[in-house]
Amino acid sequence: MPVTRLYGIIPPLITPFDTKGNLSVDRLSGIVEFTKPYVHGYYLCGTYGLGPLMRTDQRKKVAERVAELVGGEKLIVVHVGSADTETAVELAKHAQDIGAHAVASVPPFYYHHSETHILNFFRELVDSVSIPVYAYNNPPRVGYPITPELALKLKEVGVAGIKDSSFDVQAFIDYKVTLGEDFDVVVGTEALMLPTYVLGARAFIPGMSNYAPEIVFKLFKALENRDFENAAKIQYKINKVRRQVQRLGPTIPLVYLALKLRGVDAGFPRKPFLPAPHEVQEILKSYIEELLEGVET
Amino acid sequence: MPVTRLYGIIPPLITPFDTKGNLSVDRLSGIVEFTKPYVHGYYLCGTYGLGPLMRTDQRKKVAERVAELVGGEKLIVVHVGSADTETAVELAKHAQDIGAHAVASVPPFYYHHSETHILNFFRELVDSVSIPVYAYNNPPRVGYPITPELALKLKEVGVAGIKDSSFDVQAFIDYKVTLGEDFDVVVGTEALMLPTYVLGARAFIPGMSNYAPEIVFKLFKALENRDFENAAKIQYKINKVRRQVQRLGPTIPLVYLALKLRGVDAGFPRKPFLPAPHEVQEILKSYIEELLEGVET
Amino acid sequence: MPVTRLYGIIPPLITPFDTKGNLSVDRLSGIVEFTKPYVHGYYLCGTYGLGPLMRTDQRKKVAERVAELVGGEKLIVVHVGSADTETAVELAKHAQDIGAHAVASVPPFYYHHSETHILNFFRELVDSVSIPVYAYNNPPRVGYPITPELALKLKEVGVAGIKDSSFDVQAFIDYKVTLGEDFDVVVGTEALMLPTYVLGARAFIPGMSNYAPEIVFKLFKALENRDFENAAKIQYKINKVRRQVQRLGPTIPLVYLALKLRGVDAGFPRKPFLPAPHEVQEILKSYIEELLEGVET
Amino acid sequence: MPVTRLYGIIPPLITPFDTKGNLSVDRLSGIVEFTKPYVHGYYLCGTYGLGPLMRTDQRKKVAERVAELVGGEKLIVVHVGSADTETAVELAKHAQDIGAHAVASVPPFYYHHSETHILNFFRELVDSVSIPVYAYNNPPRVGYPITPELALKLKEVGVAGIKDSSFDVQAFIDYKVTLGEDFDVVVGTEALMLPTYVLGARAFIPGMSNYAPEIVFKLFKALENRDFENAAKIQYKINKVRRQVQRLGPTIPLVYLALKLRGVDAGFPRKPFLPAPHEVQEILKSYIEELLEGVET
């Protein structure tokens, strides 16, 4: 079932490892169980999901396992971005095989590639599968942006849409203006849901849905009900807590800890990431409580 | 009549010079006449208004003349930002004398100043007048940003609000979250009116209102009527034309030409700015027509 | 006596103000007296000299007074850079009138100007005087660089050379490669004297010569004697202390304090700069002693 | 034979692939044969060598084959940098097993890691082998720099030195000042050999030595003979041609073409890199001829 437009809340699922650094597929079910009622799909092996620092075989196992767990009930988007073309193509084919609805990819990272190289990279991806291929814009991680002009050329080689994690609402508008209605623009954060929803965004990939999916879902419902006043209140609460959490240290390890505090064993991140220090547990707990206050969980 | 919160459309008025580089105060009346029905006030000698490259006596004359022209009917905010404290203070006192409702200032530019220096700069400004003092965040022009944390300290020394030209909606939220309800946050562009309005913004300083005030006003009215669907359409049209205009060359000289095309003699910018080249006249005209299509003028 | 190539140590002289913020021309003689034996000229009203935040009449007074003090014995280069063309031209003419050997100017700051605007700015400067005009590259202060390609166009409109404060030795080479032997490239720091000297640099504008002119002069003499081994030792000492001093706070106020510690009354910087805090006096003193250890003063 | 200080010309060897994207180990001997007389060692699977976009098994094969080819005659440094710790450690152990004299690693890329994570990454590397571990500073590729302060902490966990590709001579000095004599600082480019040699650099990792090893070696010999005047001439020629080559397109594919023009079959780069277009062949040839004019080859 290829999709042409993503919809709803599609969290960038984190990936559980054990203390020895082995992939811990068994822990995926707990995280999926916990988040499932509040999401429309999953974005696998993305930046939150540690895909870019995992082995190819590990990335495949995560996609396989989550596809099994959701059994067609949810959208599955697999991030296949890599430093090289071959790995990305291999992962895209595999994603299609396990029933993913779409794949997404950062442009090849580490090197700052020329437009010719980038277009060829995505052309090979598009040619390797029949499901939609999304480009994923994340300038701080990749080292260079996907400008609207580049996105237009990506559209011409068959890219179906973009996941934008630039945190730049003007860029969202520029994409829409430049790329037209038949190119999907998905917002890669919970921090800008209201301001982009009113501009037409309907799909979101929010890291916070890993550990507080209820509040993000509540915001999405307020948006769908056009209750923008209430949406603004929730948006402000989300962004306030986001900032507080970011001050505690690197975000990704904190998500594992936050899940533990929510009662879900998400294991540990892969190295070079290290588990969040114990000292932040109490304060993180209070932030989550603040976030969920008044939200049915 | 000190205000505590700005409201509405307050364009950053451009400043007319003659071909010899002399200030052309006489031409101000035409621009004010043209824009007045569609604005709630004027922001004088800002970045669009060329304040930072004008002589102190010229900046004063502009403030005096516009204050005369609007005779209390409109909000007057005078930008007094300078590389040095003395000039900014002198301009602030003068602004108060001619009846301005507020002053605004970039942090001192050219040098990258320490927090201590910046706080002292604004403290002296605040102490020199009884009208509200706004800080003006424009990182590309100034060389450094006003972070929410710095803004909080500015609030403590008496700064009333911020004019944010960072084009960063997340920063808008961060300011609101950090600074609370008793600190005004004004949006320094027409490009983000809808996404910031739904987040609580009620005052805008849009350069486009110099030459197409009708469309910006129409957007503001749609926002005030909570007609966000129509607002989105207008917002997209505005941003599309903005991008087109920006591709023609430096924006500020184009505003003078656009006014001429609208039938208003706005003179010329001050050097080092040069008049926009004749070649772009026809294409600029077509952009303006696209912008105003279906708008009552 | 127009020069076509600058030579030697030409410190960017700081400008003394009194506690009320008034220019204190009387204090200039002490600073000149202190530095004169160890320098070949003075660079006036540059970034160290606070020119970009001084009034036009103040900038002129500094140039007049220093010209009087050195009476033709030393090179005088007056920095005339401003946000606007008119002020820069006025200052350039004045510099020529008081006997300066050359003027220098940053490209117009605050706004990020187009190439056309920048070239016109320098063309007007060149046309206004018969002494050489240098461009001054300082990207962090100005907001944009003078690339070698832009410098080549500046050369074509008559610019005689460049003062480069980019701290980028590769840029120094690129300038030389692109601009040829008949375009002067002057290094705007003491931190890179050895590595640029071996590449052909013969003129330096070192802020440290304000308060420790002996050590910079000693380095220059070692370079002129091709004693690169000793030069490396001095260069390392200079850079080590530079870093230590920079950690104490904003550099410019520290220079005033350092001069006081050397027995020279240099007054105070102009606001928004504030005097360096008393607390750093002892540690700054020890750094200066380290710097001058073994140097005849 | 662990080394404690690298010495001489140690080019970042490119890695040959065939047109199908398979590693072409057979072609390595031709490149090694061609360069061997003019180098002191090889830096394998670095940025030029495409290590960060190769599979782990491919990276190992390159190290094995080159180790065989040079049979202990040359220094072998293997770059093991990766997005994850496990891969880097695996490659470091393998490098030690095949007789490498040292390993080097960028800090983990893609994510912007905290200091704690970076230090732990290098600690694990150091603990996994008995040969020296170098850190490799390449901010544009990695997304963040190794500051002198961070390098000092890396030294404390056992890192032996740094390969600096920041193109920043002041950073070279800062490293030396901060890290002391018992920490090696290696310069990662041919573009700054003279200015860093006079500051104490004795080892260089120059990409140009892949296709014009004679000229880089000639520069090194001039430096070793303290013939800095001649060295400056060669340095200028090198940098001039570097700039010309860079204007032809992405550098890495051009190196493969340049080797072909020198009569060495280096195959092709790995995708997303694509072979340099045929059109540039003639002009590239003329640049190489300019570079080698008057150099014995």
Cis peptide before D132 (omega within 30 of 0): no
Residue D176 pLDDT greater than 90, yes or no:
yes
* DSSP β-bridge partners for residue D186: D163
Rounded to 10 degrees, what is the CA torsion of C171, C174, C180, C182? 0
Give the whole-angstrom CA distance, residue C34 versus residue C263. 9
- SS3 category, B291: helix
- Amino acid identity for residue C200 in this structure: G
Return the residue matching tokens 């890599």. A82
Asked whether at least 3 C-beta pairs link B and A within 8 Å, the reply is yes
Which pLDDT belongs to residue D71? 86
Interface contact C47, partner B, CB < 8 A: yes
CB C53 to CB B271 under 8 A? no
Tell me what ipTM this predicted complex has.
0.96
Sequence ranges of the domains in chain A:
8-292
Is the pTM value of this prediction over 0.95? yes
- Residue numbers in C near B270 (CB within 8 A): 84-86
pLDDT of residue C296: 80
C246 reaches D (C-beta below 8 A) = no
Q: How confident is the model at residue B1 (pLDDT cuts 50, 70, 90)?
A: very low
**Cβ-Cβ contacts under 8 Å for C92 (sequence gap 6 or more):** C78, C80, C103, C105, C125, C128, C129, C133
Chain C CB within 8 Å of residue B53 CB = yes
Q: Does D181 touch chain C (CB under 8 A)?
A: no
Question: Other CB atoms closer than 10 Å to residue C3's CB: what's the count?
Answer: 17
Q: In chain D, what residues touch C192 (CB-CB under 8 Å)?
A: 169-170
* Placement of tokens 């697999």 in the chain: A78
Distance CA D156, CA D183 (A): 11
CB-based contact (8 Å) between C236 and chain D?
yes
Q: Is B152 an interface residue toward A (CB < 8 Å)?
A: no
The catalytically annotated residue of A74, A155, A163, A237 is A163
CATH class of B8-292: alpha beta
pLDDT category, C3, cuts 50, 70, 90?
very low
CB-CB neighbors (< 8 A) of D242 in chain C: none
CB burial readout B5-38, b (16+ within 10 A) else e = bbebbbbbbbbbbeeeeebbbebbebbbebbeeb
pLDDT digits (tens, 9 = 90+) for D122-131: 999 999 999 9
- Stretch 94-113 of chain D: residues touching chain A, C-beta under 8 Å: 108-113
Q: Which chains touch C (3 or more CB pairs under 8 A)?
A: B, D
d(C-alpha C74, C-alpha C94), whole Å = 18
Once rounded to an integer, what is the mean pLDDT over residues B127-148? 98
- Predicted pLDDT of residue D296: 79
Closest-CA residue in chain B for C120?
Answer: B272
Q: How far is D256 from chain A (nearest CA, A)?
A: 16
* Residue ranges in chain A modelled with pLDDT below 50: 1-3
Q: Phi and psi of D140, rounded to 5°? A: -65, -30
Average per-residue pLDDT in chain C? 97
Kindly tell me if the per-residue pLDDT of B2 is higher than 60. Answer: no
Q: Which residues of D are catalytic?
A: 136, 163
Give the separation between CA C277 and CA D53, rounded to whole angstroms. Answer: 51
Judged by CB atoms closer than 8 Å, whether chains meet at C117 and B85 is answered as no
Average model confidence (pLDDT) across chain B: 97
Check C195 against D195: CB less than 8 A apart.
yes
pLDDT tens sequence across D108-145? 999 999 999 999 999 999 999 999 999 999 999 999 99
Sign of CA dihedral D160, D164, D169, D174: negative
Quick check: B45 pLDDT over 90?
A: yes
The residues pairing with A203 across neighbouring beta strands, listed in sequence order, are A8
Cis peptide bond upstream of C272, omega within 30: yes
Indicate yes or no: CB of B108 within 8 angstroms of CB of C272: yes
C111, C120, C252 member nearest B141 (Cβ):
C111
Check: CB of residue B190 under 8 Å from CB of residue B207. yes
Does residue C1 surpass a pLDDT of 90?
A: no
Where would I find the beta strands (DSSP E) of C189-262?
203-204
Nearest CA-CA distance, residue C269 and chain B, Å: 11
The beta strands (E) that lie in B12-156 are given as 41-44, 75-79, 102-105, 133-137
List CB contacts (< 8 A) between A82 and chain D.
53
Best residue of A48, A84, A121 to probe chain D, by most D CBs closer than 10 Å: A84
Query: Phi and psi at residue D71, in whole multiples of 5°?
Result: 45, 45
Q: Is A47 on the interface with D (CB under 8 A)?
A: yes
pLDDT digits (tens, 9 = 90+) for D38-59: 999 999 999 999 999 999 999 9
Q: Do B195 and A232 touch (CB under 8 A)?
A: no
Question: Residue B20 in contact with residue B50, Cβ under 8 Å?
Answer: no
Whether residue D118 lies within 8 A of chain A, CB to CB, comes out as yes
**Residue positions of C annotated with a catalytic role:** 136, 163
Sheet holding D8-9, edge to edge: D8-9, D203-204, D184-187, D161-164, D133-137, D102-105, D75-79, D41-44
Can you name the residues that pair with B105 across neighbouring β-strands? B135
Residue of chain B with shortest Cα separation from C139: B143
User: Rounded to whole angstroms, how far apart are CA atoms A272 and D116?
Assistant: 9
Only one residue has tokens 């860079």, namely D246
**For range C54-64, the mean pLDDT:** 98
* Residue A167 at interface with chain B, using a CB cutoff of 8 Å: yes
Q: Is the confidence at residue D2, as pLDDT, over 60?
A: no
The rounded distance, in Å, linking the Cα atoms of B35 and D150 is 56
State the pLDDT confidence band at D80, using cuts at 50, 70 and 90.
very high
Site from C166, C197, C199 to mutate, D interface, most D CB atoms within 10 angstroms: C199
Mean pLDDT of chain D: 97
Report the residue of chain B nearest C271, measured CA to CA. B85
- Chains touching chain A through at least 3 C-beta pairs below 8 angstroms are B, D
Is D118 one of the annotated binding-site residues? no
pLDDT in tens, A237-295: 999 999 999 999 999 999 999 999 999 999 999 999 999 999 999 999 999 999 999 88
B141 contacts C272? CB cut-off 8 A: no
- Coil, strand, or helix at residue A10? coil
Q: Does B1 touch chain A (CB under 8 A)?
A: no
The predicted-structure confidence for C251-297, as pLDDT tens digits, reads as follows: 999 999 999 999 999 999 999 999 999 999 999 999 999 999 988 87
Does residue C295 sit at the D interface (CB-CB below 8 Å)? no
Count each helix (H run) and each strand (E run) in chain D, helices first: 12, 8
Residue of A nearest to D114 (CA): A250
Q: Are A176 and A165 in contact (CB under 8 A)?
A: no
Query: How many whole angstroms separate alpha carbon C276 and alpha carbon A237?
Result: 41
Q: In what order do the strands lie in the sheet with A161-164?
A: A8-9, A203-204, A184-187, A161-164, A133-137, A102-105, A75-79, A41-44
| Residue of A116, A124, A271 lying closest to D84 (CB–CB) | A271
Q: Which residue from C83, C116, C121 is facing B52, i.e. has the nearest CB?
A: C83
Residue D3 confidence (pLDDT) above 70: no
Q: What value does the mean pLDDT take over residues D207-227?
A: 98
